[in-house]
Amino acid sequence: MSDLLVVEDLTVTFPTARGPVDVVRSVSFTLGRDETLGIVGESGSGKSMTSLAVMGLLPKGARASGSVRLDGVELLGRPDRELRRLRGDRMSMIFQDPLSSLNPYYTVGLQIEEVYRAHRGGSGKDARKVAIAALQQVGLPDPERRVDYYPHQFSGGQRQRVMIAMALVCSPELLIADEPTTALDVTVQAQILGLLAGLRKDSGMGLVFITHDLAVISSIATRVLVMRQGEQVEYATAEQVFAEPRHDYTRMLLDSIPRIDDPLDEGVTA
């Protein structure tokens, strides 16, 4: 069986007043089914642009070159009309800020139902049942009632659960999570990480998890891609990256993160 996602030599170029700028340069990785790849990097590393390029969601004017294959099928260069059929159905994405990522004017039920109906058709009644089941699956209490709530009536963690329900309603093979826990409190973050890991395992989908937080990556990813200023620095199993980092930048990052289990004086030294 082939790999689920193969990215080869991906380059993303933005036009600027001073000529084109590459925000992602020659990035390559593969993601197997039933696997979690962590993409880690600081701000400006190009980690979000990489994921948007995979989804075909790059901002206007940006160009992607190289190759992105989902289940052996090339995605780059395909018209949006065709990519649209894959998005939300075979590949989904969740984002950092669940409040602004949900439309405040519609109930969460409608926002989940519309994904299902766009890809599977069917009656409104069916879609509603599916939406309630999806909310149940992500552990939202009282889904029959909450399906008619508006996004602002949920807490931050619940909103991210709604986003996850929306992303998974068509049982995609690939889920891309772009900093999904960064805006959340640490206790809520732990719950969402647990939920994502559990759902991924149950469904056997591939997960790409993007974050700036190495500790989070360590707890969820099997393979890790370290990015810096648009370039791929290190790509290896999580164990290799954390126990035997080969690149100076990775080592520097690992040295920089403050450790909660370290007393004051063994901590950061510059």
- Answer yes or no whether residue 148 interacts with other proteins by CB under 8 A: no
Among 1, 17, 186, 202, binds other proteins (CB under 8 A): 186
User: How many residues are present in the chain?
Assistant: 270
Residue 37: Cβ-neighbour burial (10 angstroms; 0-12, 13-18, 19+): buried
- Answer yes or no whether residue 187 interacts with other proteins by CB under 8 A: yes
User: Residue 9 corresponds to which tokens in the numbers above?
Assistant: 């030599």
- Answer yes or no whether residue 4 interacts with other proteins by CB under 8 A: no
Q: What is the DSSP code string of 123-183?
A: -HHHHHHHHHHHHHHTT-SSHHHHTT--GGGS-HHHHHHHHHHHHHTT--SEEEEESTTTT
- Answer yes or no whether residue 171 interacts with other proteins by CB under 8 A: no
- Answer yes or no whether residue 197 interacts with other proteins by CB under 8 A: no
- Answer yes or no whether residue 270 interacts with other proteins by CB under 8 A: yes
Q: How far is the CB of 163 from other proteins (least distance, A)?
A: 8
Q: How far is the CB of 256 from other proteins (least distance, A)?
A: 4
Are 57 and 63 a contacting pair, CB within 8 Å?
no
Q: How far is the CB of 42 from other proteins (least distance, A)?
A: 4
- Answer yes or no whether residue 102 interacts with other proteins by CB under 8 A: yes
Among 36, 39, 89, 159, binds other proteins (CB under 8 A): 89
Q: Which stretch binds other proteins (CB under 8 A): 4-12, 17-25, 66-74, 115-123?
A: 115-123
Edge-first strand order for the sheet with 91-94 is 73-74, 63-70, 5-16, 19-31, 231-237, 223-228, 36-40, 206-211, 174-178, 91-94
Are 175 and 168 a contacting pair, CB within 8 Å?
yes
Distance CA 147, CA 137 (A): 13
Among 7, 31, 47, 95, binds other proteins (CB under 8 A): 95
- Answer yes or no whether residue 127 interacts with other proteins by CB under 8 A: no
Q: Give the footprint of other proteins on residues 210-239 (CB under 8 A).
A: 212-216, 218-219, 238-239
Distance CA 31, CA 49 (A): 17
- Answer yes or no whether residue 260 interacts with other proteins by CB under 8 A: yes
- Answer yes or no whether residue 126 interacts with other proteins by CB under 8 A: no
- Answer yes or no whether residue 1 interacts with other proteins by CB under 8 A: no
Distance CA 29, CA 224 (A): 10
Q: Could you give the angle at the alpha carbon of 262 between the alpha carbons of 261 and 263, nearest 5°?
A: 120
Are 92 and 168 a contacting pair, CB within 8 Å?
yes
- Answer yes or no whether residue 55 interacts with other proteins by CB under 8 A: yes
Binding region for other proteins (CB under 8 A): 42-43, 55, 57, 84-89, 92-93, 95, 97, 100-107, 114-115, 118-119, 150, 152-153, 156, 163, 166, 185-190, 193, 212-216, 218-219, 238-239, 242-245, 251-264, 267-270
